[in-house]
A and B are shown apart, each in its own frame.
Chain A
Amino acid sequence: MDKRNLQKIANEVRKGIILSTHSAKAGHPGGSLSAAEVFTYLYFEEMNVDPGNEKAPDRDRFVLSKGHTAPGLYAALAQKGFFSTDTLSTLRQIGSILQGHPDMKHIPGIDMSSGSLGQGISAAVGMALAAKMDGRSYRTYTLLGDGEIQEGQVWEAAMLAGHHKLDNLVVIVDNNGLQIDGAIDEVCSPYPIDKKFEAFNFHVINVADGNDFDQLQSAFSEARATKGMPTAIVMKTVKGKGVSFMENQVAWHGTAPNDEQYALAMAELEKAGEALCQK
Chain B
Amino acid sequence: MSEVKKIATRESYGNALVELAGQDDRIVVLDADLAAATKTSTFKKAYPKRFIDCGIAEGNMMGVAAGLACAGKIPFASSFAMFAAGRAFEQVRNSIGYPRLNVKIGATHAGISVGEDGATHQCNEDIALMRTIPGMTIINPADDVEARAAVKAAYAHNGPVYMRFGRLAVPVINDSPNYSFELGKGITLKDGKDLTIIATGLCVSYALEAARRLARDGINARVINIHTIKPLDEELIIRAAKETGKIVTVEEHSVIGGLGSAVCECLSEHCPCRTLRIGVNDVFGESGPAVKLLAKYGLDENGIYTKVKAFL
Contacts and interface: CB of A to CB of B under 8 A. Distances in A.
Q: Do A and B bind each other?
A: yes
Interface of A: 57, 61, 63, 103-105, 111-113, 115-116, 118-131, 133-134, 152-153, 156-157, 159-160, 163
Given A129-B64, A153-B63, A122 B71 contact: no
Contacts of A123: 63-64, 66-67, 70, 95
Given A113-B95, A122-B66, A122-B95, A133 B59 contact: no
Interface in B156-176: none
Given A105-B100, A112-B67, A129 B60 contact: no
Contacts of B99: 103-105, 112-113
Given A113-B98, A122-B66, A122-B91, 18 more contacts: A61-B71, A104-B99, A112-B66, A112-B99, A115-B94, A118-B59, A119-B95, A121-B63, A122-B60, A122-B62, A123-B64, A124-B67, A126-B68, A126-B69, A127-B68, A129-B52, A130-B70, A163-B55
Contacts of A129: 52, 64, 67-68
Interface in B53-108: 54-55, 57, 59-73, 75, 90-91, 94-95, 98-100
Nearest to A115: B94
Given A130-B73, A160-B57, A119 B100 contact: no
B60 A156 contact: yes
A126 B90 contact: no
28 contacts: A61-B70, A61-B71, A112-B66, A113-B98, A116-B90, A118-B59, A119-B59, A119-B91, A119-B94, A122-B64, A122-B91, A123-B63, A123-B64, A123-B66, A123-B67, A125-B63, A125-B64, A126-B63, A126-B64, A126-B65, A126-B71, A129-B64, A130-B70, A133-B73, A134-B71, A160-B55, A160-B57, A163-B55
Given A113-B98, A122-B91, A122-B95, A130 B72 contact: yes
A128 B52 CA distance: 13
Contacts of B52: 129
Interface string B115-157: 0000000000000000000000000000000000000000000
A170 to B, nearest CB: 14
Given A113-B94, A113-B95, A129-B52, A119 B63 contact: yes
